[in-house]
Chain A
Amino acid sequence: MRYIEPHGHMVSRTTDDYLAMVTAGCKAVCEPAFWAGFDRRSAEGFYDYFCQLTEHEPKRAAKFGLPHFSWLCLNPKESEDLALAADVLALIPDFLDRPNVLGIGEIGLNKNTANELKVLEQHIDLAVSRDQLILVHTPHLEDKLKGTKLIIDALLNHSGTRPERVIIDHVEEHTAPLVLDKGFWAGITLYPESKCTPPRAVDMLETLGADRIWLNCACDWGVSDPLAVPKTALEMKRRGHSGDFVDQVLYRNPHRFLSQSPNFRLQEET
């Protein structure tokens, strides 16, 4: 079995996790910029993080033969401070030409505030103006439905948005149809308690179709499972889905979306 992990915060993971992922069939890992678990105090902190995502982490992954790609942004949890956001946004353009950068992400909303929305719109504008793919984080738990609606409106309000170049992540049963109906890609995140389980993910694939959906584990510094994606393949097989269906969802779908970035190139394996 082969798979792509399109959303993993590998700077928070151990080398044992890299080894386990590669052993399970991982062919590429993509790492969106994320909240560190605490608020960074300055733009310099973000500069260092962007260097980590574009220089250091790809080298760490390469030791396991795993191609590593990254997405850059200011996380919505840190968007309340508009002055800091402006300083960080000014840093990003210089990093977009680095060879492992796929686009702008994971942008989005957290508590659905007016300031978060402003910073989201600035990120969308940057992505469109630089012809970058967009990876969107939708809010947690009770905030997800409202936030997903606000995010879709913000994306569609920008005349340059091309939905086929945007993936809206962390969808669940109440938000996935909203995302897919507007032509966006949808990401299902397999994450304990706060997001989705393997059985529910396969339910959504069965009811919504697998055309524009990818699965990811979003493993980070919290309780999370870097092998959640290959474990979901087991759930698919238990229900009688074919190996080709598993390959489509776990490998060909993320490959198709990510290949819209000229930086996403893999040595194809059969």
Chain B
Amino acid sequence: MELLKIENYKKSFGATEVLKGIGFSLDRGETLAIIGSSGSGKTTLLRCLNFLETPDEGRMYLDGKLLFDASGPRAGDAEIREKRLRFGLVFQNFNLFPQYTVFENLCLAPKLLAAERPDYRQKKEAYLAEIEEKATGLLDKVGLTAKRDAYPCSLSGGQQQRVAIARALANSPDILCFDEPTSALDPELTAEVLNVLRSLASENMTMIVVTHEMKFAAEVASRVIFMDEGVIAFDGPSAEAFGENCPNERLKSFIGSIEK
């Protein structure tokens, strides 16, 4: 079932056109890997999906409903904020909030959101209990229950990234995006993060993962998009992308250049 559809996303920074008409769709429960050389626009695409950048052109449909249209009226802050909640984003360098414990990092945004509900006053206890229960479950899921009250600065990079994933999940996004989640990590720490992604994929979380981990992409992603200079040069099943008879020469040489 189609969850997300992107049509003709274009984005320029000044004179540089970074996205030159990106279109793809994503089914619910699918894991999509986006690969491509540095500077091809992968980060910019994820930022557009998360409304950190506004595309110059294009439309986004979520669940069949138009969520963004560049030619429509400019959305206000509150509207963007609401739309943004449909997505989560895990950054390359984690961006945890250093002054909060792991558990507080998970609960902060959901609690602020709950406080905006009209019936918050009457149901405060219930809301908070629900948020904390969910956060506890998420910490268990990423294997960091023991670090519940630790501060981010005391964690390894891999642990911080797992907290960041749990924090993104605490908002229950429809689609979770990852921007090279392991490239700031020492090699021995990437596995623990990839394992979390693996288990999320097996639970049918809808995910878009920008990654340079080809083995991981081949194994976990059902589909691969190869970006090349702002366009999608390949979009197909990962078996095809990483298989012997990959139809796209540039993709083939790109995968070859990374795996060697």
A and B: real partners? no
